Chains A and B, each alone.
Chain A
Amino acid sequence: MSEPIAYTVTIYTENNIGLLNRISAIFQRRHINIESINSSVSEIENVSKWTIVVKLHEDQMKKIIGQIEKQVEVIKAYFHTEDETIYQESCLFKIKSNLLFDERRQIESVIKDNNARIVTVNREFFVIEKSGRKEELEVLYRELSVFGIMQFTRSGRIAVTKDEMKISKMLEAFQH
């Protein structure tokens, strides 16, 4: 059997308490690890959008999409390969401020080379932010870890698809 591949799952749902539990239970029950999960507002008012990354085989992925769509409060679920989406993750690094004086040149070049930016600076620490693909964030992590990282956090993937998602039309159809 071939290696599982990373799929980006996009789910449009009603914005209701408990839905996280219901969606994650579908993966948990099948002993599938969720690589990342993000929930936010979507392009439609009062409709939530979930972006989940999982590594699966295609037929397994299709079955799970069926199970997700079956949930009453799920409007529509899609899955896409990385080629079919534009995706980003975001990360924050908290680093000791003295490095800005002691290692200024090196730090500056790391920030510049990686297209990162400084969000805030104060007496004790400064914060670097970068958005990009996971691999790019990993490069920045490696380069900054030489200097010592006080705190690091990375968001789940967010993605938009190259193809259209006809959610608004679906919802309109329901009204009529």
Chain B
Amino acid sequence: MKDTQTLDKEQTTTAKTMRISGSEAIIRCLIAEGVDILYGYPGGAIMPVYDELYKFRDQIHHVLTRHEQGATHAAQGYARISGKVGVAMATSGPGATNLITGIADAQIDSTPMVCITGQVASHLLGSDAFQETDIIGISTPVTKWNHQITKASQIPEVIAKAFYIAKSGRPGPVLIDITKDAQFEQFDFSYEKCKGVRSYNPVPKTDIDDVKAAALLINSAKKPLIVWGQGVILSEAEEELKAVIEKAGIPAAWTILGASAVPTAHPLNVGMVGMHGNYAPNVLTNECDVLIAIGMRFDDRVTGNLASYAKQAKVIHFEIDPAEIDKNVKTDVAVLGDAKESLSQLLPLLKANSHEEWHQKFKDLYAIEYEKVIKDDLYPTKEGLTMGEVLKEINIQTQGNAAIVSDVGQHQMIACRYAEFTTTKSNITSGGLGTMGFALPAAIGAKMSAPERDVVAIIGDGGYQMTIQELGTIFQQRVPVKIVVLNNEFLGMVRQWQQLFFEKRYASTEMTNPDFVAIAKGYYIDAQKVTKREDLKAAVAEMMACEGPYFLEVRVEKEGNVFPMIPTGASVSDIRLE
């Protein structure tokens, strides 16, 4: 409530015209859009904007990251935990190109983000000027929208449009490139929020006939299975989803980005689908009679071999993006629209059901997975710490209330498999792009966006070293994130594949690592290393009790593997347990 009030006040103050520079206008636009924190890195072509940021520093907090990639991931973390638009800023040339990985990540994971880049003066465009790069051309395939501004008068309208496009419909990243002369130019400023773009229909209208057709299929199903994705979180349809699941008694599984929308402990939550997901939902995908996909996009890591994916099932797809319908899996009923809206329409049409026999199948398969995989992951008896037992300890000590920010690789799969979530928007990870180096800066953004929450970053020793310099940001900003590096001295996921599919030829996957504790301490961050099982509990307790940032290195077994696993090209039902 408070947010809207400040916004309204701000809008009235900016409704009247005032003569200001383009760069001041940029800051005023950001404030009007409710931006309280942004992440970035200054440089020549964006200096006028930074000069204004200095003047407005009590109204908008700029966080200096140690690399522009870190700024984008921090903005993503900020967006993912809050649902608000993350903002990153950089100069032209290398500053702009360094944003690209984060932008591509936000595009494939539908994260609302606005990136602002400085550009050489408009008369220098195309002259190969110092730090000139065609960032509009470069960013086009990885942005939802982008635009170059060469006149100050374009700033209010374009920035308003940028925020509207980034946040509405299926969210995504927008890049605005602003020439230096436009930043200096004086003009008559006023601001109005964007309410629509004529060529853009963010949310297709839900057709009640489609909802009815879906309800008919669901009501007659004997073995229905729900697979939900991030769309549920993005449309804030968690309660609606839970109501649907509970009323119709449907087992519900999630994609990696859908995690945490329904609490892990919910009896109808049957776990994660996909390559390293749970045994039961993967196997039973090929046994269900109606597959109900909600806000997910049938990624290849979810479906395995499409030729043998849920061929026996009728498929219902609740989806906001029409381009996703029939893209990978042919649907029998497509329900377009926002998940919150369409699930609300679905709920009253559903018959109460319990599907007890069908549920028993999930329980039986879980028991097999527990015996073969989970028991040894969480309660190992052999020497050598497992990644799973670290997650279990964090679950216990945070009571599942922490937001878990994971990087990419084995530890990510373990984190997503075993983290116990009680709260939505709590699983922050790079899903579609698989960006190593994501977690440390994303954790910064998440913690700054939700300071009341515990934010625990789970990172491998490989990915950690891709953005390790962001420790400097954590130190300078005193961001109390908890950093857990699960160190197996390998690029573990690649090593696992080398073991399974390349006859153990460990090409360039072994890491000779530095003293991570010393590095953390070099940034004045409290740190310790755990190598023995008996020390784990106390170390996690010390970390969680620490008021400031904390670094915990856990030496885990070097050649542990993540199972279950659907090998590339295999069917979901051919998932391997060992």
Q: Interface on A for B, CB 8 Å cutoff? A: 13-14, 16-18, 21-22, 25, 29, 59, 62-63, 66-67, 69-70, 72-75, 171, 174-175
Shortest Cβ distance from A74 into B: residue: B199
Query: Which chain A positions have C-beta within 8 A of B197?
Result: 72
Interfacial residues of chain B within 267-324, with CB under 8 A of chain A in the complex: 321-324
Separation of A17 and B165 alpha carbons in the complex (Å): 18
| Contact present for B145 and A72 (CB under 8 Å) | yes
Query: Which chain A positions have C-beta within 8 A of B144?
Result: 72
User: Given contacts A21-B137, A63-B326, A66-B327, is CB(A75)–CB(B198) below 8 Å?
Assistant: yes
Interface on chain B toward A: helix, strand, loop, or mixed SS? Answer: mixed
Please tell me the number of chain B residues within 8 Å of chain A, measured between CB atoms: 22
Shortest C-beta distance, A174 to chain B (Å), equals 4
Query: Which chain B positions have C-beta within 8 A of A70?
Result: 321-323
Shortest Cβ distance from A13 into B: residue: B199
Shortest Cβ distance from A173 into B: residue: B198
Give which listed residue, B140, B148, B200, contacts A25 with CB less than 8 A: B140
| Contact present for B148 and A17 (CB under 8 Å) | yes
User: Given contacts A18-B136, A70-B321, is CB(A75)–CB(B199) below 8 Å?
Assistant: yes
Does B522 lie at the interface of the complex (its beta carbon under 8 Å from any beta carbon of A)? no
| Contact present for A66 and B322 (CB under 8 Å) | yes
Separation of A174 and B199 alpha carbons in the complex (Å): 9
Does B141 lie at the interface of the complex (its beta carbon under 8 Å from any beta carbon of A)? yes
Shortest Cβ distance from A25 into B: residue: B141
Does B97 lie at the interface of the complex (its beta carbon under 8 Å from any beta carbon of A)? no
Query: Which chain B positions have C-beta within 8 A of A18?
Result: 136-137, 140, 146-148
Query: Which chain A positions have C-beta within 8 A of B196?
Result: 174
Query: Which chain A positions have C-beta within 8 A of B321?
Result: 70
Shortest C-beta distance, A124 to chain B (Å), equals 35
| Contact present for A69 and B198 (CB under 8 Å) | no
Q: Can you give 8 A-B contacts (C-beta < 8 A)?
A: A22-B141, A25-B140, A59-B326, A63-B323, A66-B327, A70-B321, A70-B322, A175-B198
Query: Which chain A positions have C-beta within 8 A of B165?
Result: 72
Shortest C-beta distance, A152 to chain B (Å), equals 31
Query: Which chain A positions have C-beta within 8 A of B198?
Result: 75, 171, 174-175
* Most A CB within 10 A of own CB, among B144, B145, B165, B199: B199
Q: Which 10 A-B pairs have the closest CB atoms?
A: A66-B323, A174-B198, A75-B199, A72-B145, A25-B141, A72-B200, A70-B323, A21-B140, A22-B140, A73-B199
Separation of A171 and B323 alpha carbons in the complex (Å): 21
Separation of A13 and B198 alpha carbons in the complex (Å): 10
Interfacial residues of chain B within 139-182, with CB under 8 A of chain A in the complex: 140-141, 144-148, 165
Separation of A66 and B334 alpha carbons in the complex (Å): 14
Query: Which chain A positions have C-beta within 8 A of B326?
Result: 59, 62-63
Query: Which chain B positions have C-beta within 8 A of A16?
Result: 147
Separation of A17 and B158 alpha carbons in the complex (Å): 14
Query: Which chain A positions have C-beta within 8 A of B141?
Result: 22, 25, 29
Separation of A175 and B327 alpha carbons in the complex (Å): 32
Shortest C-beta distance, A39 to chain B (Å), equals 16
* Most A CB within 10 A of own CB, among B140, B141, B145, B321: B140
Query: Which chain A positions have C-beta within 8 A of B140?
Result: 18, 21-22, 25
Interfacial residues of chain B within 175-213, with CB under 8 A of chain A in the complex: 196-200
Separation of A14 and B141 alpha carbons in the complex (Å): 18
User: Given contacts A18-B136, A29-B141, A74-B199, is CB(A67)–CB(B146) below 8 Å?
Assistant: no
Query: Which chain B positions have C-beta within 8 A of A17?
Result: 148
Interfacial residues of chain B within 225-274, with CB under 8 A of chain A in the complex: none
Shortest C-beta distance, A7 to chain B (Å), equals 17
Shortest C-beta distance, A61 to chain B (Å), equals 12
Shortest C-beta distance, B332 to chain A (Å), equals 16
Shortest Cβ distance from B202 into A: residue: A72
Separation of A22 and B197 alpha carbons in the complex (Å): 18
Shortest Cβ distance from A68 into B: residue: B323
Separation of A69 and B327 alpha carbons in the complex (Å): 14
Separation of A25 and B147 alpha carbons in the complex (Å): 16
Shortest Cβ distance from A73 into B: residue: B199
Separation of A16 and B147 alpha carbons in the complex (Å): 9
Shortest C-beta distance, A92 to chain B (Å), equals 30
| Contact present for B199 and A14 (CB under 8 Å) | yes
Shortest C-beta distance, B210 to chain A (Å), equals 17
Separation of A67 and B324 alpha carbons in the complex (Å): 9
